[in-house]
Amino acid sequence: MTTAPVDRIPVSLLTGFLGAGKTTLLNALMQNPAMAGTALLINEFGEVGVDHHLVDKIDDSTVLLDSGCLCCSVQGDLVQALKTLHQRSSRREIPPVSRVVIETTGLADPVPVVYTLMEERFVAARYVCDSVLTVVDATHALDQLDTHPEAVRQVTMADRLLITKGDLADSDGRAQLNARLAELNPGAPRIEVRHGQIEPERLFGAGVYAPGDKLPDVAAWLGAERTRDAEARHAPPAISWTRAGHSHATVPPAHAARHDGSVSSFVLRFEAPVPWFGFALTLGRVLQQHGPQLLRVKGLINVAGESRPRVVQCVQNVAYPPVTLPAWPDEGAFEDRRGRLVFITRQLPAEAADAIRAALAQLPGDSAAIRATAATPLLPTRCWFSERVALTAPGSLQLEGWVVQPRRFTRRTASV
């Protein structure tokens, strides 16, 4: 795998829309010896971070970003994280870092992240944007590209397009997707990835990120980001008022508002262990009723009778096979061992969100749920009733790096 000069650390941006399989890919990558010396930054859209619990622990160095979506906080938390990483590495407080991988939230616009890596003085002097890797879900990408401008930018900016779930898509759908990807990014190789398995050398070492190798849109987007950044630097700070009447400066408004206001997030917490089949039946009905509006449902669940957390992941009306983690996290939101589900939704009315909360607060018992399932052959979670739940094993490799992930999310309005 190609390495950069020691004075500039290569940075790869791992992006892709919600549910595309970024975390699965990342987990498989980090078990590869070639990834030793990699610093890992994980960003999530939502109040409670889940994904970082699904990646095998690399070491005990963890930095928490507090601002939520990375593209909205790129001038603050990302820059600070990269500065801290460089400083700690220079002081030998952590092992030497030879590469950085940034996994963005599925709703992140990669443009401001790439712009910052190329233009922010401190960062650009010490890091080099090596590649943008975009994971593309073969089963949902066409709809996502038609609906979400972030998905279009993720594909268009990419140096590599990593196609996942290709075995689940029909031939006509694949042909349409290939044509759309070729239209948006004709120069990016399309690489099939199954179960996250791919050799690192196929992903990294692309060289300095070159907008000229992409469609003209990429250069235009980066130019617009330069204008946006200049305006933000010269704009007066926004003023907010405390109860005592004292004012303080906040981030200039030009840095805010990157997301569609129709996208929002909420978290459900389960105070007690849940009956698995009752939970599976109820969530399956939620997916049936609201699937098109559920961009992602993901969380850790405390199942009655089990000592380890079970991970559930759903995209729209598709429920993916659950897995069991070796142990509950010993820090963060899940250290209390209460289950939580993070819903990321689009155009979901408030009354529908309330109905979802009410349904999942009143779960039927397992026996009643099993009987009810017999009358629901198309239940999205039907496979959860019979499938053997896989156990994720701890990584046998000790790899150097960091995990960086957000703790809070502040909803923002659109300006795309």
Q: Report the pLDDT averaged over residues 328-351.
A: 85
Structural domain count, the chain: 2
Q: By C-alpha distance, which of 287, 291, 282, 288 is closest to 359?
A: 282
Q: What is the DSSP letter of 259?
A: S
38 and 59 belong to one structural domain: yes
Which tokens go with 98? 């030879």
Q: What CATH number should be reported for the domain holding residue 121? A: 3.40.50.300
Instruction: Note down the domain range covering 374.
Output: 263-391
At residue 281, the 3 state secondary structure works out as helix
Residue 2 within a domain: no
146 and 167 belong to one structural domain: yes
Q: What's the pLDDT at 68?
A: 44
Percent of the chain that is helix, strand, coil (3-state, to 5): 40, 20, 40
Q: Report the pLDDT averaged over residues 285-310.
A: 91
Q: What's the pLDDT at 235?
A: 54
pLDDT in tens, 155-206: 999 999 999 988 888 889 999 999 999 999 998 999 999 888 899 989 987 7
What is the pTM (predicted TM-score) of this model?
0.70
Question: Given a cut of 80, is residue 18 above it in pLDDT?
Answer: yes
Question: Given a cut of 70, is residue 65 above it in pLDDT?
Answer: no
Query: Highest mean pLDDT range out of 10-14, 69-73, 294-298?
Result: 10-14
Q: What's the pLDDT at 261?
A: 62
Q: What's the pLDDT at 190?
A: 94
Residue type, 241: W
212 and 277 belong to one structural domain: no
What would the DSSP string read from start to end of 144-171?
A: HHHH-HHHHHHHHT-SEEEEE-GGGS-H
Neighbours of 309 (CB within 10 A): 24
Beta strands 99-103 and 9-16: pairing type? Answer: parallel
Q: What percent of the chain has pLDDT over 90?
A: 27
Which tokens go with 244? 């005592």
With cut-offs at 50, 70 and 90, classify the pLDDT of residue 74: very low
- What's the chain's average pLDDT? 77
Positive or negative torsion for Cα 226, 228, 231, 237: negative
Residue 35 within a domain: yes
Q: What's the pLDDT at 15?
A: 92
